[in-house]
Amino acid sequence: MKFDTPAGTNPIDNKTVVGRPTSRIDGPLKVSGTAPYAYERHDVVPHQAYGVILGAAIAKGRINRIDSAEALRAPGVLAIVTHENAGKLGKGKMNTAKLLAGPEVDHYHQAVAVVVAETFEQARDAATMIRVDYARTKGRFDLMEQKDAPLVGGSSGEGSGAPPIDRTGKFEEAFAAAPVKVDVTYTTPDESHMMMEPHATIAAWEGDSLRLWTSNQMIAWGKGDVARTLGIPADKVRLDSPYVGGGFGGKLFVRADAIMAALGAKAAGRPVKLALARPMIPNNTTHRPATMQRVRLGAGQDGKLTAIAHESLSGDLPGGGPETAVSQTKLLYAGANRLTSMRLAVLDLPEGNAMRAPGEAPGLMALEVAMDELAEKLGMDPVELRIVNDTQVDPEKSGRAFSQRHLIECLRTGADRFGWNRRNSKPGQVRDGRWLVGMGVAAGFRNNLLMKSAARVRLERDGRATVETDMTDIGTGTYTILAQTAAEMLGLPLDAITVRLGDSDFPVSAGSGGQWGGNNSAAGVYAACVKLRGLVAARLGLGDNPEFAGGKVTGGGRSVQLLDAVKAGPITAEDGIEYGDLDKTYQQSTFAAHFVEAGVDAWTGEVRLRRMLAVCDAGRILNPKAARSQVIGAMTMGAGAALMEHLAVDKRFGFFVNHDLAEYEVPVHADIPHQEVVFLDYPDDKSSPLKAKGVGELGLCGVGAAIANAVYNAAGIRVRDYPMTLDLHLDRLPTYRA
**Read out DSSP for 246-262?**
--TTTTSS--HHHHHHH
Q: Is residue 235 part of a domain?
A: yes
Describe the strand order of the beta sheet including 131-136 as a list of residue ranges.
104-105, 61-67, 131-136
d(CA 291, CA 312): 7
pLDDT tens digit string along 169-184? 999 999 999 999 999 9
**Cα-flanking dihedrals φ and ψ of residue 281, to 5°?**
-60, -50
Q: Is residue 158 part of a domain?
A: no
The separation between CA 68 and the C-alpha centre of its own chain, rounded to angstroms, equals 39
Contacts of 541 (CB under 8 A, 6+ apart): 556
Under the banding of pLDDT at 50, 70 and 90, the label for residue 703 is very high
Q: Please check whether residues 99 and 221 belong to one and the same domain.
A: yes
Q: Please check whether residues 562 and 658 belong to one and the same domain.
A: no
| Whole-number pLDDT of residue 343 | 98
Helices 219-230 and 256-268 cross at an angle (nearest 10°) of 50
| Whole-number pLDDT of residue 218 | 98
Find out whether 276 and 291 touch, Cβ atoms under 8 Å.
no
Q: Is residue 508 part of a domain?
A: yes
Q: Specify the 3-state DSSP secondary structure of 341.
A: strand
pLDDT tens digit string along 560-595? 999 999 999 999 999 999 999 999 999 999 999 999
Q: Please check whether residues 634 and 561 belong to one and the same domain.
A: no
Q: Please check whether residues 406 and 477 belong to one and the same domain.
A: no
In terms of DSSP bridges, do strands 589-601 and 607-617 run parallel, antiparallel, or are they unpaired?
Answer: antiparallel
Q: Specify the 3-state DSSP secondary structure of 361.
A: helix
Q: Is the link from the previous residue into 395 a cis peptide, with omega within 30 of 0?
A: no
CA distances from 693 to 3, 328, 367, 686 (A): 15, 17, 24, 10
pLDDT tens digit string along 107-162? 999 999 999 999 999 999 999 999 999 999 999 999 999 999 999 999 998 889 99
CA contacts within 13 A on the Cβ side of 562: 28
Q: Is the link from the previous residue into 689 a cis peptide, with omega within 30 of 0?
A: no
Let me know if 79 is exposed, middle or buried by CB neighbors in 10 A (0-12, 13-18, 19+): buried
Domain boundary among 257, 284, 311: 284
Mean pLDDT of 618-636: 98
Q: Is residue 83 part of a domain?
A: yes
Q: Is residue 328 part of a domain?
A: no
pLDDT tens digit string along 367-379? 999 999 999 999 9
Nearest to 346 by CA among 61, 502, 143: 143
Q: How many CB atoms lie within 10 A of CB 456?
A: 21
Q: pLDDT > 90: what percent of the chain?
A: 97
| Whole-number pLDDT of residue 321 | 97
Find out whether 629 and 677 touch, Cβ atoms under 8 Å.
no
Helices 703-715 and 360-378 cross at an angle (nearest 10°) of 30
| Whole-number pLDDT of residue 158 | 85
Task: Note down the domain range covering 250.
Answer: 41-138+198-284
CA contacts within 13 A on the Cβ side of 598: 34
**Angle at CA 695, nearest 5°, toward 392 and 361?**
80
The answer to whether residue 285 scores a pLDDT higher than 60 is yes
| Whole-number pLDDT of residue 437 | 98
The separation between CA 657 and the C-alpha centre of its own chain, rounded to angstroms, equals 24
| Whole-number pLDDT of residue 556 | 87
As a whole number, the mean pLDDT across the chain is 97
The enclosing domain of 111 has a CATH number of 3.30.365.10
d(CA 738, CA 736): 5
Instruction: Write the DSSP string, 135-193.
Output: EE------GGGGTTPPB--EE-SSS-EE-SEEEES-HHHHHHH-SEEEEEEEEE--B--
pLDDT tens digit string along 308-335? 999 999 999 999 999 999 999 999 999 9
Q: Please check whether residues 397 and 269 belong to one and the same domain.
A: no
Helices 517-540 and 478-490 cross at an angle (nearest 10°) of 30
Q: Please check whether residues 528 and 662 belong to one and the same domain.
A: no
The answer to whether residue 738 scores a pLDDT higher than 70 is no
Q: Specify the 3-state DSSP secondary structure of 294.
A: strand
CA distances from 305 to 166, 173, 202, 385 (A): 18, 13, 55, 9
Q: Please check whether residues 426 and 519 belong to one and the same domain.
A: no
Instruction: Write the DSSP string, 522-557.
Output: HHHHHHHHHHHHHHHHHHHT--SS-EEETTEEEETT
The separation between CA 48 and the C-alpha centre of its own chain, rounded to angstroms, equals 32
Q: Please check whether residues 570 and 598 belong to one and the same domain.
A: no
Describe the strand order of the beta sheet including 547-549 as a list of residue ranges.
547-549, 552-555, 558-561
Find out whether 237 and 504 touch, Cβ atoms under 8 Å.
yes
Q: Which amino acid is at 572?
A: T
Q: Please check whether residues 472 and 428 belong to one and the same domain.
A: no
CA distances from 361 to 180, 349, 416, 503 (A): 27, 21, 25, 31
What are the start-end ranges of the E strands in 9-129? 49-55, 61-67, 77-82, 104-105, 111-117
The answer to whether residue 737 scores a pLDDT higher than 70 is no
Least confident range of 233-242, 561-570, 705-714, 725-734: 725-734
First-last CA distance in the chain: 69
DSSP 199: P
| Whole-number pLDDT of residue 735 | 73
Number of domains in the chain: 3
Helix/strand/coil (H, E, C) string of 669-682? HHHCCEEEEEECCC
d(CA 410, CA 493): 34
Q: Please check whether residues 523 and 393 belong to one and the same domain.
A: no
Find out whether 511 and 452 touch, Cβ atoms under 8 Å.
no
Under the banding of pLDDT at 50, 70 and 90, the label for residue 736 is low
The answer to whether residue 547 scores a pLDDT higher than 90 is yes
pLDDT tens digit string along 226-265? 999 999 999 999 999 999 999 999 999 999 999 999 999 9
Q: Please check whether residues 649 and 598 belong to one and the same domain.
A: yes
| Whole-number pLDDT of residue 299 | 98
| Whole-number pLDDT of residue 729 | 87
Q: Please check whether residues 75 and 205 belong to one and the same domain.
A: yes
In terms of DSSP bridges, do strands 435-447 and 589-601 run parallel, antiparallel, or are they unpaired?
Answer: antiparallel
Burial 636-655 (b: 16+ CB within 10 A, else e): bbbbbbbbbbbbebeeeebb
> CA-based diameter of the chain, in Å?
86
Q: Is the dihedral of CA 223, 228, 229, 231 positive or negative?
A: positive
**Cα-flanking dihedrals φ and ψ of residue 731, to 5°?**
-75, 0
Least confident range of 157-161, 256-260, 468-472, 600-604: 157-161
Domain boundary among 583, 606, 641: 583
d(CA 186, CA 699): 21
d(CA 472, CA 478): 7
Q: Specify the 3-state DSSP secondary structure of 25.
A: coil
Q: Is residue 154 part of a domain?
A: no
Domain boundary among 558, 583, 608: 583
Mean pLDDT of 519-538: 98
Find out whether 77 and 52 touch, Cβ atoms under 8 Å.
no
d(CA 622, CA 681): 11
Helix/strand/coil (H, E, C) string of 588-602? CEEEEEEEEEEEEEC
d(CA 246, CA 216): 9
Known active-site residue 697 = yes
pLDDT tens digit string along 186-213? 999 999 999 999 999 999 999 999 999 9
Q: Is residue 230 part of a domain?
A: yes
